[in-house]
Each structure stands twice: as structure tokens, then as C-alpha cells.
Structure 1
């Protein structure tokens, strides 16, 4: 094991050199709750002699205090570090541990078994080469076993160990082991897992963990550690085409300009021809620079700085790729998506997307289907809830370099981030680009925005009125448009009710429908602003995310958020359309302010308190703002 080599005492330098050159295997343990994942890893650490004396003393004390093994050592406590994990005897967070043997180094991720922590399991599996899927011999293959197996397949892990644990509690029955192995093999074949090695175990006792157990004389396969030491990982990133997502443009002085990042696949040498994507410009490698000097070759996993023979405009997020084996470049994809957000996914809501070292804005169109991991049935859906898995079309706001996830996990995987809370809400795996993204191009025109602005005699602007129903948005917008028209300004009023008679007549008032309603209106307002108009958009638009997306799409210089601030008690007293009364009687579902939330602007450009301002005074306030910012003279 790790500390049993005679070289440690005889020749430490030779030992360290041999240790540095060992191959590395990253694997995860997963399965249902209380299948023994943490105990398995704890026992591996113990058997690898990587538990120091003070840790062992603490383990003995903790085992007596919160252990689950009576007077024996509870090896799970070596891994379960959170207080809540120790109290409940479960894994919540992803715990990473390192150990080594004479033949190999290992990084293992202990992932949670509870369905509610599926997102944590996805995190641990994203970099793994192999999965150890544990099954309690008393319970057999469970729902969470199938869920984790499906995720393992989806995340591109092709090597699986089926660890049938706690076989000691079933008297080491070969029949029990064979039945579980056969049941799992049937399911594994359905999801494309072909390299499955079943091993009978007792993680607590140590049966077949590091040494062959006399309790299972009928088993002739490898021990767990033997298999982990010898399994050949077929997906060698060194053999794949060269890819380096640029993380940093290294410019310490005027004489040096390099592009730094980690090589995610392939290898590179000075003189190799590279293409920069998405710009498609080419050059040759001049130098491969590191802190320890220049290299003759760099391979996957190394972090380097590459200098090119030609001056090319390259930024963070660009990808350096082998010119003769290029990734694709597109802005629309079909992808598998694992939803990790507490709130359900809303089609067309803008999210931030991290792919490689690039951050873009992304929108998910209506999901094609979601997958029932128990039956593998595909069912139609309009959204995805926490821990659900689906196939969706996704659109980015710009073209990005990519490889299908099946070919390259680093350039084919992405995460989605909530724009307001900055929390990760989804993990995606690109299947392929959509053909329509390759066939649609932006058509250049001769009469552009500045030309229309000069003709109109004023700057284009989108005035976005937001507030509760009955706050007075439409009244104020109508009064303002009347005054702008009298000044000779070219205007158009987009009113929430009017738009729903035509453009958005197919939409209801669910959260998803409200998101799509504002998305369409934003696109129309942007086109009208491009035509040189002053657009007055009067919509409740209850969600900050959509209002911020409208500002970004239209442009902050052409967008003015007007918050018509009216307390709900006042708006309900006015109730010009009788909608609040219907909502209170339960006749209107999803009514903003009653049973659907309104997120007021945190920093509006103009705030109007309609409890003190008349519509005329409010219009005066906005007109003064337009003059101050130079929209109108």
C-alpha cells in the first residue's frame, strides 16, 4: 500500500519519482442511502495506511459517540465531515479523498445517496473516470441505484463497478449476489453501460476490498483495489484533438503576449498549426511557456502559456484548437439537462451559461421531453423541476466552440447559473448543434439605426413601465405618448392587454407563460428601437430576470426602467378592471400580487409614487428624464 514501500526508507527520491509518475484514476462512489459508500472509502483509507494516529484516536472517540457500528470503528466518519452527516449517518455534501497504492494514485468522490442531493452527485461525477455503484445486498437494485446509474451513463462514465455490499448480512450468499448482478446487468444494458464488474463486498469487515475473502470462496474475480489498480481507461484525453480554452491573456510587458489555460485534450508542440475559435484565425505555436521553462511538448492536464507566431486578437473564452481537427462553432444546441435549481426551469428565461472558460447568456426553449430514470420512459413536459433530467434545445447569445459531450466532456459540458442569485441551477451535456443555427445568418443592411435616428430627430429609447395591475402604468404611458407626439417624436405604445389580443394571444399567466410574454415583447421593442422610435412598453413584467434581460438585449443606453410604485392596497382599491375581486374569489389564478409574486425593481431609472403624483405630473417627471439624458431636445 501507500506507505509500505521499502523505498521510503532506502531511497526517498526514487520513491517520490516513482510516485509522481503513477497513473491517476478518479472515481466516485454512489448508490442509495445507507448502502455503505462512506464506509467503503473510509476502509480504503484505513487499509491504505493513510489514517494518522491522531485521526485514528479521533475516529475511535467519534465511533463511540456517534458511530453506527457498536463498539467497532465506524469508518464512514473518516469521510462524513459535516455535523449533519454524522448525526444522521448519511452523506450530504461531496467529499473528495486522496489515496494511493504501489501501482496507482486515486481521487475518490463520495457522493450523496438522497434524491434531493442528486445535484451534488452530478458534481462529483463530472470529472470521474469510473463509478463504484453500491447496492445493499439486503435490498437489491433500488430507484436511486437506477437514477445514479443513468446519470453515470449520461455523464460519460463508461467503467462501472457494481459493489454488492453488506453481503455478510446475507450469509455471503452466492445466489443473492448472482441475482443482484443479473438484475443490474439488464438495466445497465438498456442505458448503454457495457463495462460492469460486479464484486461481492463487506466494506465494514473488509471482504474483497483489498484482499480476497475466505467468506466468498465461490468468487474468482478481482478484489476492488485490484480492479481499481488495473482497469484501463479507454478515453485517453491525450489521444483526442488538441483543445485549450483560453483562461487568461498573459501580457506582463510589451514584448510578451501569451495565452494561458489548461489543455483539456490532445497535445501540442512548437510549430503546430492552431486555429482560434470562434474567430477562425490561424497561426503556428511559437513557444510553450511554463514557470519551469519552455516545453517541447505539452499534453492534456497541463497548464501552460502558448505564444503564437502571428498577432491575433484572442480573448478569455476563446479556444485554441488543432487546425486539422476542429471543434464545431454554433449558438443553438440539443442537450441533456440535469436541473439543479430549487425553482423549476422556465423556458425562455435568460440564464448565464459557463462553457469552458466562456460565459454567455442562454435560453432554454420548451423541453423536448424528460426522462423517467426508473422506466427510461420519455414523457412530454413544459419545464423541469429539481433533479429532473430532460432533453432540451438551448440557445446562446453568440456562437461558441464546442465538441459533443460524448467526444469531449470539457468542451461539451456546461452549467447554467441564475443571473440574480449566482447559484448553479443546471448541468448540461451537448449532443449536437441544431442545423438551423448553421443556416441562419445576419443580413447586413444599408439603412441602419443611426440613419433612422438622424431622420427622426431624436434618439431611440425603450421606456419600460413596470408595476402592479391598477398602478396606473397604461394611463401614465398614454399621457406621456400624447406629449411626445405633440413634440414631433416618433413613438409607439406597447400595452400588455393589447399585445395579448394578437402577438401573445396563445399565452396564459403561468410563470413560464409570463416569461415568454416578456421575451416576445422585448424582441418587438428592440426592433422598434432599431427603427428609431421611442417605445413605451407598459407591462406588469413581474420578474427582475426578464426586465434585466430586456435591458441587456436592447442596450442600457436605450433602456429606461420606470417603476410605477403603487402599494397593493391602493391598487386593489382602484381595481379599474375588477381583476382583484375576481382573484380574491379564486376566479383568476396566478394573479400578480395575490397568488403570484411581483419582484419590484431594486434600482429603477425612474420611480413614480402614484399615491402622491397625478398622471400628468408623472409624465412630466419622465419627460424631464428624457431631456436630461438627451433622448429628446
Structure 2
């Protein structure tokens, strides 16, 4: 493998290692049971929490005492699996999801992190939070109601956040007598809408989350459906290839200088590889200084490694003693991100107090924190109609709009479409230290 990994070609000074590293990453991912991050979305009462409960239960990720507690709390003749995810008292009382709930389960093939996000329009910010790191988004649609405004809203948000894979789960098919005509109508309508959103991968599955039909095993109620079950698709969707293995980006999180005689010469820079591949011996550049050196060694949790790629957490040692600190970024000299103090981004506002021009805020981008001022609000986006309101003067809670910011210090950024880590940032209220917004650096179009 290592021999093949070193067979690489130079294209305009940039090392093209994507195919070889993707193969290597896929092998390691298989051995370690690759992690797939999933966000669920959809309108109110479409069954998101019930679906997650079903996946947890059928994958044996629920303890017996948990199931018994849910069974006792359930009303009616069936066990309400939604109670496995709706943990807040207000959620249980109202039968709705309010906060983002993360749940974990594994199959022999893959480990999953599930984010159950609210369906109400006033919780758009929660959906953005859950989908910002997702590899795949599941949008549930009630077979009786068809494609609703909130279903379109969440599909648009998933495409805006560049979630690579989208699954439409047409739920409650048992309530429409497993009608193939109803399923095909919803599938065609959603496919036509998704074509406008540049969704790279779309899969539509008919299910009944309550009864488990087509969730883990094929249901005899839908002999006309020849596609995969939901879990089979989640297990086999290829997520390793979605990672950017071309652009090496290593934000420095912490400088390690052990206070020990045995390691008195040790100086390492710890962090998580944001994208690309780092190898011992590679020539690298440190931003913002622009100084170049080579990688002397890479230390992983279990000792030295020859190479590191996203999302590995490692410590990088450099051949030269450079001034490197938290917030700096290590990259390749011929493949560096843009260094800028002017940000043009789509911002989802998450605070009650609206965002307005000339407002002063703090920006956290990877491991770098800077202060910023809002230069201009270009437009506010209506996520229902995709209309741009050019005359908007502020962004309110859950609003999304294009904002121009000026930072006090330079940031090292990429286009969000190319790199979801270096292409995003959060906005922080300096007074309360609360996260009040999330931004994506996407070109105006």
C-alpha cells in the first residue's frame, strides 16, 4: 500500500493524491468501522424521532431497561419509540422535538451518529446545527400529506450546507395502504425540486417507521419496491470519497512542550487534520508567517505515523524551530488557502437580537478567533421561495442572508463547496460568549 501511496503526480505544483489516498482511507475506514454522520429533517409529526427510535431498537442499541421505561411512558397500544430521542420534558409533553438530540448506534459494517433535529420553522437554526457536519441527511415526508413547505425548506438547507447525500424517507406508507402511486408521485415531485438545488445524490425509500417496514428489512407490503432498505443504504453509501483529500489543511490547536528532561527538545503542534494528507518529509508552509519547512514527524495517539488525513487528530513536528501558535495553519506552499480579512458569506442567524450593519462581533474560524464588524447585509434569503430580499436591513432569528464582514486579523479560508471545515465559521457574542450565527463562505451567484 505504501508503495502505491507514493506513486503520485504533480499538477501545477499541487500533489494529486486523491485516488490513492481515498483507497487507503477506505481500507482504514472499513477496518475501523467508518463513521457516518446523519441528520434527520422534515415537517412536524413526519416521524423523525420515531424513525431514529426504530433504528436504535432494531440495531440492538437500546438497553432493556430503556425500552421498558419507554414502554411504560407510551400512550396507547404501541411502544412510542420517539421517546428514545425526545429527552426534554417539554418534548415529551408536547410530542415534538425542540432541541438537537444526538444518538449513536453501530452495525457490523459502520458506526452512526444521528442528529434528530426539530421540524418547526422557528427551529431552523437547530437544523443548521445538526446538518453542518452531516455526511447524509434524511428528509421525512408524510405519505398522506406529500411534500410540504417545511420539507422543501429542509431539503434546501441540506443543499445549502452541502450535505453530500440526501435520502427522502416517505413515511407512514401503511396509512395510504402502501400505494405505489402515492410513493411515485412524491418521489417525482421531490426529484423535480431537488434538481433545482444541485443535490448530488438522492435516494427515495418508502417506509413505516412505526412498524419497521423497509427500515432494516424489506417489507412484504411493498412488493413493487425493488430498492434498498433504509439501513442497507446507510451502511453502504460511500462517504469516504466525499472528504477533501487534495488540499492539506492543519489548523494548530495547541503547542505541546512537555516539561520533562526526557522530552526537553520536543515541540509539537497538535490539532485535527481538516482536509488533505500530511506526510513525514512533506514541504509545508505556516500561515500567517508564510515561512516554509518540512514535516519531521507525525505522532498519533498510539505513536508515530507516516501520514495523517482528515479527520485524524495528530501532533505534527517540524524540521525547523518556527514561531507557530494556536490559530496558525499548516498547508502546502503550492496549495495554500486564501488569506483575507474580508468575508463574503451566507450567515444563518441564531439569536433573538438581530444582526445589523456596523455591528461588532467575534468570529471563530477553525482554531482562530478574531473580532469583526458587519460591513453590509447584501440580501436576506427566503428559504421557502429562494427569493432574495435585496432591501433587508437586518437578519432576525433563523434568517439566512448574505453578509460582508471585515475582520481585525486575516483568516485562512477556502470556498465552502471545496472545504466544509475551512469554508465555515461561527459568530460569537463577545458579551455572553454565546454562538449567535453560523457562516458559509460561498461565492455570490
Using structure 2 for the length normalisation, give the TM-score. 0.89
- CA separation of 1:313/1:127 partners in 2, compared to 1, >3 Å: closer, same or farther? same
Give CA deviations for 1:183-216 in whole Å, capped at 9, x if unaligned: 2112111121142111111100111101111111
Kindly indicate whether the alpha-carbon contact (under 8 Å) linking 1:38 and 1:76 is maintained by their aligned counterparts in 2.
yes
Query: Whole-Å Cα distance in 2 between the matches of residues 387 and 259 of structure 1?
Result: 37
Query: Whole-Å Cα distance in 2 between the matches of residues 19 and 159 of structure 1?
Result: 19
By relative contact order (CA 8 Å, sep 6+), the higher-ranking structure is 2
Residue number in structure 2 paired with 1:143:
149
**More helix by proportion, 1 or 2?**
1
Residue 24 of structure 1, aligned match among 9, 18, 35? 35
Task: Return the offset for 1:94.
Answer: 0.9
Task: Return the offset for 1:307.
Answer: 1.1
SS in 1 for 2:441: strand
Kindly indicate whether the alpha-carbon contact (under 8 Å) linking 2:244 and 2:418 is maintained by their aligned counterparts in 1.
no
Query: Whole-Å Cα distance in 1 between the matches of residues 414 and 362 of structure 2?
Result: 20
Give CA deviations for 1:249-294 in whole Å, capped at 9, x if unaligned: 1112442211111111122111111111122111100111234221
**More strand by proportion, 1 or 2?**
2
Residue number in structure 2 paired with 1:213:
219
Kindly indicate whether the alpha-carbon contact (under 8 Å) linking 1:238 and 1:267 is maintained by their aligned counterparts in 2.
no
Q: How many positions carry a matched residue from both structures?
A: 412
Q: 1:584-595 residue pairs with structure 2 within 5 A?
A: none
Q: 1:99-178 residue pairs with structure 2 within 5 A?
A: 99-178=105-184
Query: Whole-Å Cα distance in 2 between the matches of residues 291 and 279 of structure 1?
Result: 28
Q: 1:556-567 residue pairs with structure 2 within 5 A?
A: none
Give CA deviations for 1:288-310 in whole Å, capped at 9, x if unaligned: 12342211222211111111111
- CA separation of 1:407/1:342 partners in 2, compared to 1, >3 Å: closer, same or farther? same
Task: Return the offset for 1:432.
Answer: 4.9
Residue number in structure 1 paired with 2:347:
337
Residue number in structure 2 paired with 1:443:
none
Query: Whole-Å Cα distance in 1 between the matches of residues 240 and 376 of structure 2?
Result: 36
Pair 1:314-2:324 in alignment: yes
Task: Return the offset for 1:238.
Answer: 5.8
Residue 72 of structure 2, aligned match among 33, 44, 61? 61
Where structure 1 has 5 or more consecutive residues not aligned to the other structure, the ranges are 1-16, 434-633
Moved over 3 A (4+): 17-20
Q: 1:191-340 residue pairs with structure 2 within 5 A?
A: 191-233=197-239, 235-237=241-243, 239-253=245-259, 254-340=264-350
Give the greater-gyration-radius structure (CA): 1
Kindly indicate whether the alpha-carbon contact (under 8 Å) linking 1:333 and 1:432 is maintained by their aligned counterparts in 2.
no
SS in 1 for 2:327: coil
SS in 2 for 1:367: strand
Query: Whole-Å Cα distance in 2 between the matches of residues 417 and 250 of structure 1?
Result: 27
Task: Return the offset for 1:18.
Answer: 10
- CA separation of 1:291/1:374 partners in 2, compared to 1, >3 Å: closer, same or farther? closer
Residue number in structure 1 paired with 2:405:
394
Using structure 1 for the length normalisation, give the TM-score. 0.63
Give CA deviations for 1:87-113 in whole Å, capped at 9, x if unaligned: 111111111111122222111111111
Query: Whole-Å Cα distance in 1 between the matches of residues 62 and 151 of structure 2?
Result: 30
Give CA deviations for 1:409-442 in whole Å, capped at 9, x if unaligned: 1111001011112211110001259xxxxxxxxx
- Per mean C-alpha deviation after superposition, the further-off stretch among 129-138 and 388-397 is 388-397
Residue number in structure 1 paired with 2:432:
421
SS in 1 for 2:77: coil
Query: Whole-Å Cα distance in 1 between the matches of residues 184 and 428 of structure 2?
Result: 44
Residue number in structure 2 paired with 1:513:
none
Kindly indicate whether the alpha-carbon contact (under 8 Å) linking 2:104 and 2:114 is maintained by their aligned counterparts in 1.
yes
Root-mean-square deviation (CA), in Å? 1.7
Pair 1:43-2:54 in alignment: yes
Kindly indicate whether the alpha-carbon contact (under 8 Å) linking 1:366 and 1:383 is maintained by their aligned counterparts in 2.
no
Query: Whole-Å Cα distance in 2 between the matches of residues 103 and 323 of structure 1?
Result: 38
SS in 2 for 1:409: coil
